[in-house]
Chains A and B, each alone.
Chain A
């Protein structure tokens, strides 16, 4: 199919853009910054903020690597090392991976669904502010030199008052609960948006796989996050108020914490991983110039993973000496969870098999992802074999496994997604040439850095050790790993620079630089505040490939369809459609910019600070602000949305 741009009037109808700008634009400057509820601005912020955390905690990893480069090294002492290790893990999981995916979801999902914003734009802004404030809250510990040092899963009793008396661990525990609010609210928003805001005709079996992956992720969040909130929450109750949940001397249980943590912990890793596969499922078909193979199987796999992921958490506790029979069950389920991934894997292979692959930068990252995730997944399957896990658990073999999956199978797709979608977000393309360079640096650096860790695990190197003696055969591999880590870092740095360069000097992208198939490519780049002046009508899984020209809906006068056409955009509305077959059902007046979300988030932040420093007054002030904001919110509901 020839590369054709969708003429913009197709989606914009005959309306004058200026007028719409008037209606939709945020207030300029600072007020607009704090009051905006535009899913695109919020999405971009999510991405930028998350990447800031990525680079910070990445740099910490580099310091750790320098310390481990040679035996008996003295770059940092054990105290600092343990803090770096803890912040690195916590930040990467809570403040980089989860939010960066939420960011892409925020920006791309409404565009792919063909709607003018998320279902709850104000909640959307709210969850972003919570994310930022919890990030600041967490890093404050580092800035005042009281960084937590309990490891990213903060096992008790080490993290209980008795063994970690300082305020350090309170920063950690409260931050976990704090950021959980953001993740949960975001998930609710994704679910409702996906079910109620799809363009007419986009029946449930026509939604892009990326949307499926976000949906699957959101449901996992709903049922998993409460568990970690409890784990950290109960720990904090013990630490702050002296309850006895994790205190063995008072009938508390040490393992209870582990169960709660990993009941969230395992689904969490799929919460990170599933949207990443969604990105790959968007990139590969476009670059292979053909629809994704076995769409229904892939969608099913995404849902299946969400379910199975709740039945494997004990595989993180194989060494705790529970009854072998009980653990064997979780061992088996952990093996079964391989199948959904296998399905996705071969769907991607089949897609490329019959297509013609263009080796663009996003595709390179896609292929890199496949080759890396294959290994990470296989080592995962090995870890699921309980007796083997007894040997390698808590060794560098595990560190290798989860960097192959986290840093490989999640970060590579994210970098691919930047090259893939940033042109849509900014209207400018990143340099392909530097993209290729960045990819190869990252790919080679990555394998140098993390492949050797498998072997280190075999040679008996435990994880989380601040230093090690020479003469154990660990020295060379660690040196290689460190070098690789730095090469990888430079690779990411190249993309970083490429990105900023593109922001101002990049080549114009046009509406549809990759000849994509989903709706986001039909509007302008960057999209207008209202995304679509008139909502497109979908009759295929690949509207931009199959529906030429792309038809747009118009009002037939009645309540249900009145916001489909340009007049909907003029009235600051967006259509509401039915859950499964996406027929127009009603109209949502989208709320206008407001400070509410920011205030609410600040209230909560103050409340947490109050807990942290055990100042009742501060806590009360926070709670008060919270109640006021909530009341105001409830008060305005009928006014703002029907």
Chain B
């Protein structure tokens, strides 16, 4: 009846996991109790969970990702504590098996449920505004994407409570280790299904955003007049629609190997484990560009606005973005030069990898030239940008080093590699998200984030980052492999691991400042209040009132130039036209939540081989999709009068 699920298999096996489950469970209970006490469930359901407004969906993405960031950091803290202190102790609280689960979970969470979530959140918030649209192309599909992401996240976290273990096979679960023979438990299945469910959500988002950009731009906004962030979304989402199907297939095949005992990636009966590695990186390498390109877009907006200049080299920026997205398909083999593909194969992929550094370099120089002779304001977003230029460039240089097959053979799978990709992902993606957070926050709330605390967070992150990952480069050269839960004390590595651990503590201090900053800014929101255009912005998202109304633009703007809002502001004499018309918006609906729930059920049922429940989940999904496609009358109308009263209210409260 319940497949492989029973009391013995379900409970957490070790004390640390059990502690995590209890803490998480208590937190969840506290939230539920508070919600019930303050009677907020109806409000939550009507105003958030069922909303099809991309701005609200974007905020939900970011809220979930922020929580997951905290969990990922807790995992990182356990890894650092183990390597710095416990590794040489006889009785470590982190067993070897737990250590493997923790690094697998850390990577999976940070990439899929933090970085991806924040990117989709920011795109939802900003992109429709930047192109002067009122919505995305398929609002319901957008909500479904979010709820699939949420369901994947839920599966990922439920693995601790039910089953008591996550995958021990690393964030990309290479077979044969991730096969049935060596990982018989539910951990790898949890990994597969949390990624499968959220991955399908990402794929649907990719299609949705591309169609939005291609068909819903404002009159006059030709492709070469789009804001550069929107261009970065095009580049990134093109990659999504091309590579996420590969991930879907790869995960399906691994899942078939584990449930129907097929032989795609087994070591016997003709299976080929290296094919998995090829497939997963054919998705995985473009994936890192899916993450970094929108961050490039954010930096481009921040630099132009905070230097008071139009972006230097717009056209070359666009070409660089597109070049990177094309080239990113031709480099996947550099993740396994040691496979034995041969000298010519390795040389090809090595050279292609180095070539990617060229368009990336073009972008860095364009940003620097935008600063040149600009009126630079050193607010928090700009600090994140400047921190990014330094750290990302270092990460890029070590990446080019790794692209040389000869060097790669030496440092393959060492901490040098770990330091490299944290250098580009933290220095690039994470700093980019923080820059965007500080930059766009006032647009949606009406008040700024506290500047002093933001700067404190920035410096903690930057210094902590150098201390946390600098030593890993050295350790990598000294031969420390990654994913190491213990080492011989005579190697003399412990000092460097302790420095890395201190670095992490300083990063955690930065996170602490960010949490305080958010709470403090909400508390002091009256004093921090700003108008709709606090940075003297250049693109259309600053043209709306603040907070942005559900319909974004009461009268849709016409675009003549690249920096459309800048252009509007120059034509001061033109009196504002005040004739409003009725606006059609999608009604709220629970379909997104239901589809997410059904997908969760499917994933959970297959993990535990509860086949009847899986069938129920599939049937529910099919019925929900049919019902939502038959849904008539899905739009509500805001009359011209209502629009006018909202607009008057919002513009009236200008600070």
Bound pair (A, B): no
Q: What is A's interface to B at a CB cutoff of 8 Å?
A: none
